[in-house]
Amino acid sequence: MSTAASAPSVPGTLAERFAPAAALMRRAVRAGSSAGRPLAGDPLKERAEAVRLLAQLGFGRLRLPRAAGGLDADVPALMDLLIHLSAADSDTVQAWRTHLLVTERNLVRPGTAESSRWLGRIASGAMIGGGWTEPGGTATGTFETTLAADEAGNLRLDGRKFYSTGSLYADWLEFSAVRPGGEYVIAGVPASAPGVELRDDWTGFGQKYTASGTTVLGAVPVDPRDVVAWDTQHPALEGWQQAVLLAILAGIAQAAAETAAEALEVAARFGADLPGEDLLGRIGRISARAYGVRAVVMELARELQATHEALVNAWEAQPCESGIPGTPHSSREPGALPGAPGASVAAPSGRPVPSGTGDLSEIRRQAARDADLASAKAHSLVLPEVLAATNEAAAVTGQLGLFDRLSADRHWRNARTLGCHNPVVFKERMITDMETFGIAPGLSREERSSARQEAWTRLRQGQGKDREQKAHDGTPGTRTAVAQPRHGGQDGSGTRAALLSARATAELIADPSLLERAAGVLHDRDVRVLVLPDRPASDGTAGTAPVFDPSIAAAVLLSRLPGTAFLIRTEGIPPGELPYNFARRLATLEHLSGGAAGWWLDSQDHARDREFAITVQQLWASWPLESVATSQDAPAFADVAPIRRINRGGEFASAGPLNVPSSPQGLPVVFFSGGLQASAGDHLYADGHLGQAGPASGDAGTGEDAGTTGATGIGAEEWLAGIDAHLLTLPAGPGAGAQTPDGTLRALLGLPVPELTPLPEAAPRFDVHDDADKGAL
């Protein structure tokens, strides 16, 4: 590692080395701004060039020792550079996150065959991407990507990953997978391997160019030498994962400060008057927030550096006879810092760090605890400050009348997107669990609740906390897959949903801090579906609280509650609603959510509700999604033959077709309650019949909505405080939902794709006289 003589950690040195890349990254950002668009190129192309230039300059080799072809940077130097480059373009830096984590994992296991193999690739300039997260209903920490031998005995990787950050730019990819016997492993493949399909389908409203889309793996050949055990993960992986994001957030805060200062200069050049003290103070406050955030991240970097030293020393101090494969004896004195013979290892906080002569598992456990705790504290401080700074930067440009000239809103969008990885409320609770109760991370909600109660009992008895919780010891170990249903709840009986009031919905949208808390509460209770009511004020309370259209509210919440599905619940037919307009709004929500939406009709007038629902469902099916061309080389944008008018008459007459294609899940999920029934052969289809939603202990119950007061219901604070009274379980289907794309509500609930019986009066929308006319739309 670095020495005082080589001084690779001097901030200016690395910043100067990577200045050409930073300039290219800033040009990529300008390519996406309204002012810079005519003067710059394509933002995707610019970022791909920036990634290549970073690799050429040695960014991927930063942490490798010089003897191994690296730049010998320590953790503070790495974090300092991440902040600096993220101020130029946070998207490009995040694309390297997986690469950085793979590097750290192999640096703390020097001398093993697998680390030598991966570090050799990194030293040669390769960039590493990959993915662990899977779309759809898989539970956190379980995977369906499989690694198995084919008939010829060759290993093959099959599955689908989402959030494949950086993979489009990468040379090698690394994925979590499960063997047929249930053992979890990590498998690496070349990005160019046959069967690897990388899709640029990431649609987040921030960090848009991180290449975080889907990876489809179809019988991808895997070299057995590139399969490693689950327990080779970095023991402080979670701390490192968070630290990289925090460095990027600190860079975003710095970028916000730069934008605010630039806005002042631009306004002056435009001849504006000197702004008032309020605006000048706001600009200074943004800069101060960026300064404070950077200080927190750099302190975390020093903690991680001390942890890294302890792990390397402990690994190298183990004798070869210990049974650890490939472990060399080290010429370094136990407990000595690399490059500083005889120096003791201590964290900046003053806590003792194991010298390397003790039990390796205990040192790994301590490393995990220290990194998790330090990163949790940093996260709880950094994210709110960065969001505040970026929000104020956008306000400054607005006050100066610059509108989107500087694209100041991008800073908030990028910070908000990164902040969704781990809600602050999770980290704050984890800090209390670790410091006050002695509870280590990694427990399930039930285990954590039980451990808290036990710790509380000990505190009441004056026994103090148990510091030796081993539930998560920093050594992931050989992991066995727990069979998880592709649909329904944890026991296969159904999926947990939460019923919101109209008032709580509006308040969550208006208050990001409330929504952050709600995300944590919903996660803790494994809530997969939110039920949003369409309940206009009808009891004289109109105007006392906002009541949003639930389909539009759901569209807003999509980006803030990723992975959540939405049911729009109406009490009969909403007043003044037309079937075409209602069908169009929900169909739009279906496409925005990727098929993670549905309708719950609580019938009030069976005859009218039936007629309304038939018209809506027939409209949903009137323009089949498969008729839309998927290639720009197609002769027309749609095959017109399947597109049909429904020619529906009566009170809810509509000719159709709907001008939104059918749902990604075939037909939006529909539940009925209030006694409305759909039968076989009917023109109406129901995925299930529910009781009236009420206080739930596991099933959809009976009675009035829990906590509802008047027309708009309880507020968000009261809803959060009594969340358990607003939970219900949506029944599980037969499992046929696997036929629908992952991530859809049908797949989550295990519901089949219905065959909707067409109306007898339905007719083609377009006249097709011969084959030459087909597809002429």
Crossing angle of helices 75-88 and 277-317, in 10° steps, is 140
Mean pLDDT for 672-694 is: 71
Q: Closest Cα to residue 603, out of 501, 686, 679, 675?
A: 675
Average pLDDT of every residue of the chain: 77
Whether the per-residue pLDDT at 700 is higher than 60: the answer is no
Of 737 and 641, which is predicted with more confidence?
641
Could you give the residue ranges of the DSSP H alpha helices within 672-749? Answer: 716-721, 745-749
Q: How far apart are CA 666 and CA 687, in angstroms?
A: 12
What pLDDT score was predicted for residue 189?
95
Up-side HSE of residue 100: CA atoms within 13 Å toward CB? 27
What pLDDT score was predicted for residue 52?
92
Task: Give all domains of the chain, ordered by start, each with its CATH number.
Answer: 11-107+109-232 (2.40.110.10), 237-460 (1.20.140.10), 494-764 (3.20.20)
> Omega before 657 cis (within 30°)?
yes
Q: Closest Cα to residue 33, out of 272, 303, 266, 334?
A: 266
Q: How does pLDDT run across 402-437, given as a tens digit for each residue?
A: 766 677 888 888 898 888 777 777 788 888 888 888
CB atoms < 10 A from the CB of 274, how many?
Answer: 10
Whether the per-residue pLDDT at 477 is higher than 80: the answer is no
Contacts of 141 (CB under 8 A, 6+ apart): none
Whether the per-residue pLDDT at 258 is higher than 90: the answer is yes
Q: Please give the backbone phi and psi of residue 186, each rounded to the nearest 5 degrees, phi first.
A: -120, 125
Q: How does pLDDT run across 592-631, given as a tens digit for each residue?
A: 888 889 989 888 888 888 889 888 888 888 878 766 655 5
In the chain, the amino acid numbered 442 is G
Percent of the chain at pLDDT > 90 equals 25
SS3 253: helix
In the chain, the amino acid numbered 186 is I
Q: How does pLDDT run across 9-64, given as a tens digit for each residue?
A: 334 589 999 999 999 898 888 765 544 333 345 667 778 889 999 999 999 999 99
Q: What does the radius of gyration of the chain's CA atoms come to, in whole angstroms?
A: 28
With a threshold of 0.95, does the pTM exceed it? no
- The pLDDT confidence band at residue 195, using thresholds 50, 70 and 90, is very high
Cα 111 to Cα 3, 156, 176, 328, 557: the distances in Å are 21, 28, 23, 6, 48
Bridge partners, 338 (sequence order): none
End-to-end CA distance of the chain: 65
Q: Are 371 and 310 in contact (CB under 8 A)?
A: no
Q: How does pLDDT run across 541-597, given as a tens digit for each residue?
A: 444 455 678 888 888 888 778 778 999 998 888 878 888 999 899 888 888 888 889
What pLDDT score was predicted for residue 639?
66
Handedness of CA 9, 12, 14, 15 (dihedral sign): positive
Q: Closest Cα to residue 758, out of 688, 689, 686, 685?
A: 685
Q: How far apart are CA 468 and CA 320, in angstroms?
A: 29
Whether the per-residue pLDDT at 372 is higher than 50: the answer is yes
What pLDDT score was predicted for residue 87?
95
Up-side HSE of residue 182: CA atoms within 13 Å toward CB? 6
Contacts of 584 (CB under 8 A, 6+ apart): 619, 658, 659, 660
| Residue 228: exposure state from Cβ atoms within 10 A (0-12, 13-18, ≥19) | buried
Q: How does pLDDT run across 428-447, given as a tens digit for each residue?
A: 888 888 888 888 777 777 78
Q: How does pLDDT run across 200-231, given as a tens digit for each residue?
A: 887 777 777 787 888 999 999 999 999 998 88
What pLDDT score was predicted for residue 147?
94
- The pLDDT confidence band at residue 494, using thresholds 50, 70 and 90, is confident
Structure tokens at 609: 């509700």
